[in-house]
Structure 1
Amino acid sequence: MKTIQAVSYPVHFQEESYVLLSNLIKNNNYSTIFILVDENTMEHCYPKFIPNLKTDKRIELIEIESGEINKNLETCIGVWNAITELGGDRKSLLITLGGGVITDLGGFVASCFKRGIDFVNIPTTLLSMVDASVGGKTGVDLGVLKNQIGLFANPQMVIVDDRYLTTVTPREIKSGTAEIIKYGLTYDIHLFNQIKDNKDLKIKDLIFRSVEIKNEVVLQDPKEQNLRKILNFGHTLGHAIESFYLESEDKENLTHGEAIAIGMVCESYLSSQLLGLSTEKVNTVKEVVLSIYNKNNLLKQDFSSIVNLLKHDKKNVNGQVNFVLLNDFEDFKIDCKVPEDLIIESMEFYNR
């Protein structure tokens, strides 16, 4: 599988990538190699990874607790302290080995430590392979508010090795599938149709095409001024729903993909009401989502709290919530203004 060249770094695929990682380490003469893991990737992924790392440099492991609830500045401080205590300097390299939390947080930690050290992303979940590891976004949450603190910073390299997917649960695979659906609806309907028809589903090909799409978009708009906003389809309302469940003591947290899947159904409905997306296509999106994800009915008494969380979305300007909506499949419109009553209507549509 060929390498995808991003703006300043390559995305390599499969086992041959590790030779290139070893060459990177050798050529840059790094002082120390830090590997960031959580308890899950430490147990299941690190043993698969470490035999592939050919280097005589000092290797130090740093482990954090898994889960979105730990994607915060407090965890970052713990990692920064660990790197400092272990003798990290500007010639250190940080390797992130994990899912979206490890990737987002690790990139942010590396980019800020001593004003920036090099890092390499090795995603181990479908979500991080097709989304978080590529594109140069790093960051952490502020309370339950998603990705409020962060910056754009590119890794030296990304290694996508789908053998790590044997270590994750079916629920995590479904979480990553939501991002592939997003790419399909906004950019390449063939991807969506493959999932809808459940035919010829070769995970390597789905991953490669998703990374290819994200890279094509990011190359044209690295700082999300225009085109890159399409990657937020389903995320405006989806992030608010994810945050609401995260802060609710009486509700089980949703995975990122589960929340985004709900968001895509709701935002498809908004597209039909504001831009004329056909009812047939809206229903198709809903049917596909409900064929993959368990139904999580949104309680009417929670609608206002979810809508209130929308005001913290990063795409907002002057307090106005901006949505990415669809004129049609593969035909999008950015910076759409949506009345609050229609947002509530979209959640009622999902519940029906």
Structure 2
Amino acid sequence: MKAIRTNNTNIFFNSDVYSELNQFIQEKQPSIIFILVDTNTHDYCLPQFQQRLESGDIPIEVMEMPDGEEHKTLDICIGVWEALSEYNADRQSILINLGGGVVTDLGGFVASTFMRGITYINIPTSLLAMVDASVGGKTGIDLGGLKNQVGVINEGAMVGIDTSFLDSLPRNEMVSGFAEMLKHGLISDKNYWYTLTHLEQLDLSDLDQLIYDSIVIKNNVVTKDPKEKGLRKILNFGHTLGHAIESYFLENGDKTPLLHGEAIAIGMILETYLSTKVCGLSHEALEEINSGILKTFSKVEITKEDQKYIMDLLRYDKKNSHSVIKFVLLEAIGQPKIDCVVTNEQILEAFDYYSN
């Protein structure tokens, strides 16, 4: 597959990943190569990756963090920064983030801030990270239970998409990534949406091209608006309520935490309903989107009490301006509208629609 060029870097695919990575290392001759993994990618991805990494005499240090969104924290960052210092990292070192979105988000932030910035490379191993987290240069960590409250936008030196890593991914993680692909169709390409919602099953043999197409959609948006001043906001469709739901289920000990894509799927249904109230989205489109998402995602019980706490979390959304909550909604499939304002009553109606 042909490499995708972003504003500042390239995204390579499958066998090209290793030839390009090894050439980069040979040319740059870093002082030390650091590889950040989590407990899962340490076992399932690191051996395969190291077999294909050609470092010559350059020393390699592997740093392992716990897996899971609950560990995308400042405490873990401090641990990684301290490990870099302990192993004598300097500004000529590089950090390779081998993992899902938590690893690439946190690792990119660590690299962007250590010694005011060292080179980093993302090798995403989950579907979610391949189509979303590793593309566009957003790095960061959560603050308490609040998603991505601290971070910077800074693209790595390259991104390597090796879809063979998906072979070991659990089905729920595959489904989580699929939510972002559905979102890309809804905000940009009705035909892509149609293709995704008419797959008989999520088959790895179909995925390479679908992943490629999803990355192209996101990259087309990011290259036009790298700092999220306007157009890039459309990538947040489903995320205003989705992030609040994800944060609530993560922090509430009585709830089973939701994967990112599971929460975003709920957020997309809720925000599609809001689109009918604010942007004139047709009822037919609402039902098509609702049924398309629920082909893959199971419904989750959200009580009236839950809704109060979720709505309270909306005030922390990064798109807010002057204490006004701003939504990305749809005028039609493939036609998003940014900076939409909705009422609390309309949000509660959306929850009723989802529940019923």
Q: Which residue of 2 aligns with 1:47?
A: 47
Q: Which residue of 1 aligns with 2:158?
A: 157
Is residue 211 of structure 1 aligned with residue 212 of structure 2? no
Q: How does 1:157-236 map to 2 (within 5 A)?
A: 157-198=158-199, 202-236=206-240
SS in 1 for 2:139: strand
1: distance between equivalents of 2:197 and 2:216? Answer: 20
Aligned partner of 1:245 among 236, 244, 249: 249
Q: How does 1:51-90 map to 2 (within 5 A)?
A: 51-56=51-56, 57-90=58-91
Q: How does 1:99-118 map to 2 (within 5 A)?
A: 99-118=100-119
2: distance between equivalents of 1:242 and 1:185? Answer: 21
Q: 1:199: Cα distance to partner?
A: 5.5
Q: Which residue of 2 aligns with 1:318?
A: 322
SS in 2 for 1:94: strand
The residue identity in structure 2 corresponding to 1:26 is Q
Mind listing any 5+ residue stretches in structure 2 that lack a counterpart? Answer: none
Is residue 29 of structure 1 aligned with residue 33 of structure 2? no
Q: Which residue of 2 aligns with 1:338?
A: 342
SS in 2 for 1:26: helix
Deviations 1:252-309 (A, max 9, x none): 0000000000000000000011111111111111112222112102111111100000
Deviations 1:57-113 (A, max 9, x none): 100000000000000111000000011101111100000000000000000000000
Deviations 1:96-147 (A, max 9, x none): 0000000000000000000000000000000000000010100000000000
Q: How does 1:9-28 map to 2 (within 5 A)?
A: 9-28=9-28
1: distance between equivalents of 2:297 and 2:336? Answer: 24
Is residue 260 of structure 1 aligned with residue 264 of structure 2? yes
RMSD between superposed Cα atoms in Å: 0.9
Q: 1:16: Cα distance to partner?
A: 2.3
- Paired residues in the alignment total 352
Q: Normalising to structure 1: TM-score of the pair?
A: 0.99
SS in 2 for 1:292: coil
State, as a whole percentage, how many aligned pairs show the same letter: 48
Q: Which residue of 2 aligns with 1:284?
A: 288
Runs of 4+ deviating beyond 6 Å: none
SS in 1 for 2:70: helix
SS in 1 for 2:323: coil
1: distance between equivalents of 2:307 and 2:39? Answer: 35
2: distance between equivalents of 1:23 and 1:293? Answer: 41
1: distance between equivalents of 2:353 and 2:301? Answer: 10
Q: 1:348: Cα distance to partner?
A: 1.2
2: distance between equivalents of 1:275 and 1:61? Answer: 49
SS in 2 for 1:138: coil
Q: Normalising to structure 2: TM-score of the pair?
A: 0.98
Mind listing any 5+ residue stretches in structure 1 that lack a counterpart? Answer: none
Deviations 1:169-202 (A, max 9, x none): 0000000000000000110112211121116961
